[in-house]
Amino acid sequence: MTLDIDEILTHARSALASDVHIKTGGRLLFRVHGELVPQDQFPAISGTDAYALAKQITSERELQGLSEVGSLDSSYGNQFNRYRVNVCAISGDKEGQNIKMVIRVLPMQIPRPDELGLDTVLSDRSLVDSIITLERGLVLVTGVTGSGKSSTIASLIDRIVDREPVHIITLEQPPEYQFQDRIGTISQRAVPYNTKTFAYGIRDAMRQDPDVIFVGEIRDQETSTAALQAAETGHLVFSTVHSKNTGETVSRLVGFYPQNEHDQIRYNIASNLEFVLAQQLLPTRAKDGRVLAMEVFKTGNAARTYIRKGDEQTKLISYIQTNMKHGCISMDESILRLYQQGRISGEVAIEKAHDIQYMRERIIQTSPLIDIQ
């Protein structure tokens, strides 16, 4: 049986899968509502099958890169469907080239903030607007892989281009959504095809009269420095970081630099960081999807002082908790709201909480008869 990538992807969309896993010698897997589900209607994948599928979805140039560096990032699609592709070489003894390919299924339409649950999470539409109407500064969306970071930023950027007469430049690896000019104009660039790296792209963007810059990910010192410089010189910069909460995000940025530069970089972060949105996706009570829980950090004078002094890991949690009326939301409060709305179970709320004892007590107060372990 010859495997066809478009047939596989059609099945994936029908199953509401977020990701497709293809591995030499393995079964085809779909990630559905956060869980990996075997697709036994397809045969096990041989080395020849895996490489043939990779050839259907990538170019010869990209496959040459796979041989040279062991991995590649690409995108695939047409006017109806779009996908993000990562292929990497793996160890194995199967016939042909041993590879693992993960294909992210992308929505064709950029989601609105309310469709993602942003308005529900923030409980105040003006807070969404306060993010997208910033004139300068750094806004970071954080979380683990697959937590919806790109969708959140795409939704915010789409709202900006719909409302503000600005020039937006995006730097992505690869681009996940196709934006359209409206009141604002937007230029999308793919790393490494339109620009060598994120840091190079930021420096290029500074010569293109931008108002807003979206950097796909900050994952090294060079990109961090360029993003902070762009924010400091009067631009609004959006980016993502792989971290769990605000304190960890700040520490991760600082950790890109040698020890003797920490004081200066802390000052730069404190001066330019405006928001951190730390998010996770939780299974619904009905187990038919996932909902967004989000910690919202909105900077203030006290927070800037904590960051400069290196107290972000100990002080920013309490800062968020005591500034709930001024735009901050703790992760536990966000999770509790989802439970109170009936959208997640008590078990999930407790499992995903930062402070398990606090969550247990609040759930019992809300529903005294609930049976929780």
Question: Which CATH number fits the domain that encloses residue 124?
Answer: 3.40.50.300
- Edge-first strand order for the sheet with 35-38 is 35-38, 29-32, 17-23, 99-106, 82-89, 71-77
Please say which residue of 50, 72, 106 terminates a domain.
106
According to the model, what pLDDT value does residue 106 have?
87
76 and 123 together in one domain: no
Of 60, 49, 57, 28, the residue nearest 96 (C-alpha)? 49
pLDDT of 194 > 70? The answer is: yes
Span 322-352, pLDDT tens digits: 998 888 999 999 999 999 999 999 999 999 9
According to the model, what pLDDT value does residue 8 have?
95
Of 318, 330, 247, 342, the residue nearest 293 (C-alpha)? 330
According to the model, what pLDDT value does residue 125 have?
57
In a domain, 373, yes or no: no
84 and 144 together in one domain: no
The sign of the dihedral angle between the CA atoms of 344, 288, 241, 111 is: negative
23 and 118 together in one domain: no
Residue 42: CATH number of its domain:
3.30.450.90
Percent of the chain with pLDDT over 70: 95
According to the model, what pLDDT value does residue 364 have?
86
86 and 120 together in one domain: no
26 and 157 together in one domain: no
Own/partner contacts of 114-119, CB < 8 Å, gap of 24 or more, are 115/155, 116/148, 116/151, 116/152, 116/155, 116/292, 117/291, 117/292, 118/152, 118/155, 118/292, 118/294
In a domain, 308, yes or no: yes
In a domain, 339, yes or no: no
According to the model, what pLDDT value does residue 326 have?
82
Indicate the residue type of 241.
V
Query: For residue 264, what pLDDT band results from cuts at 50, 70 and 90?
Result: very high
According to the model, what pLDDT value does residue 69 have?
82
Percent of the chain with pLDDT over 90: 72
Look up the domain containing 314 and give its range.
Answer: 113-329
71 and 154 together in one domain: no
pLDDT of 96 > 60? The answer is: no
**How many domains does the structure of the chain reveal?**
2
102 and 120 together in one domain: no
β-pair type (71-77, 82-89):
antiparallel
pLDDT, mean over the chain = 91
According to the model, what pLDDT value does residue 372 have?
55
Please say which residue of 46, 80, 106 terminates a domain.
106
According to the model, what pLDDT value does residue 265 have?
98
According to the model, what pLDDT value does residue 360 have?
93
96 and 154 together in one domain: no
72 and 195 together in one domain: no
Q: How far apart are CA 351 and CA 52, in angstroms?
A: 41
252 and 117 together in one domain: yes
Higher-confidence residue of 105 and 67: namely 105
In a domain, 362, yes or no: no
307 and 191 together in one domain: yes
According to the model, what pLDDT value does residue 135 have?
94
In a domain, 351, yes or no: no
In a domain, 349, yes or no: no
In a domain, 353, yes or no: no
184 and 291 together in one domain: yes
Q: Which helix (H) or strand (E) holds 18?
A: strand 17-23
Please say which residue of 106, 137, 158 terminates a domain.
106
313 DSSP 8-state letter: H
In a domain, 358, yes or no: no
